[in-house]
Amino acid sequence: MLLAEDERRVADAVARGLRREGMAVDVAYDGATALDKARLTPYDVVVLDRDLPEMHGDDVCRTLRSEEPDSRVLMLTAANGVDDLVDGLSLGADDYMPKPFAFAELVARVRALARRSGAAHPPTLRSSDVELDPARHTVTRAGRPIELTPKEFAVLEALLAADGAVVSNDELVERVWDENADPFTNSVRMTVLRLRRKLGDPPLVETVKGAGYRV
Domain ranges for the chain, please list them. 2-116, 125-214
- pLDDT recorded at residue 89: 66
pLDDT tens column, 78-108? 766 556 556 656 678 888 888 888 999 999 9
From the list 45, 51, 66, the residue with the least C-alpha distance to 110 is 45
d(CA 40, CA 73): 16
Contact 45, 90 (CB under 8 A): no
2-116 matches 125-214 in fold: no
Q: Distance between CA atoms of 137 and 147, rounded to whole angstroms?
A: 10
Q: Is domain 125-214 given the CATH code 1.10.10.10 in the classification?
A: yes
What is the three-class DSSP state of 111?
Answer: helix
Q: Are 25 and 48 in contact (CB under 8 A)?
A: no
Q: Tell me which DSSP letter residue 163 carries.
A: T
Q: In the prediction, which pLDDT does 81 show?
A: 57
β-bridge partners, 65: none
Rounded to whole angstroms, the Cα distance separating 3 from 18 reads 10
Give the pLDDT confidence of 11-31 residue by residue, as tens digits. 999 999 998 888 889 999 999
Higher pLDDT, 117 or 199: 199
Where would I find the H helices in the chain?
A: 8-20, 31-40, 57-67, 82-90, 103-116, 150-161, 169-176, 187-199
Residue 121 clears pLDDT 60, i.e. is over it: no
CA angle 73, 92, 43 (to 5 degrees): 30
Higher pLDDT, 4 or 114: 4
Gap between the Cα atoms of 214 and 163, Å rounded = 8
Flag whether pLDDT at 2 surpasses 90. yes
pLDDT tens, residue by residue, 169-211: 888 887 787 666 666 668 888 999 999 999 999 999 999 998 9
| pLDDT band with cut points at 50, 70 and 90 for residue 140 | very high
Class of domain 2-116: alpha beta
pTM as predicted: 0.63
Give the pLDDT band (50/70/90) at residue 63: very high
Choose from 32-36, 92-96, 132-136, 168-172 the range with maximum mean pLDDT.
32-36
* pLDDT for res 7: 93
Higher local confidence (pLDDT), 137 or 85: 137
Mean pLDDT over all residues of the chain?
86
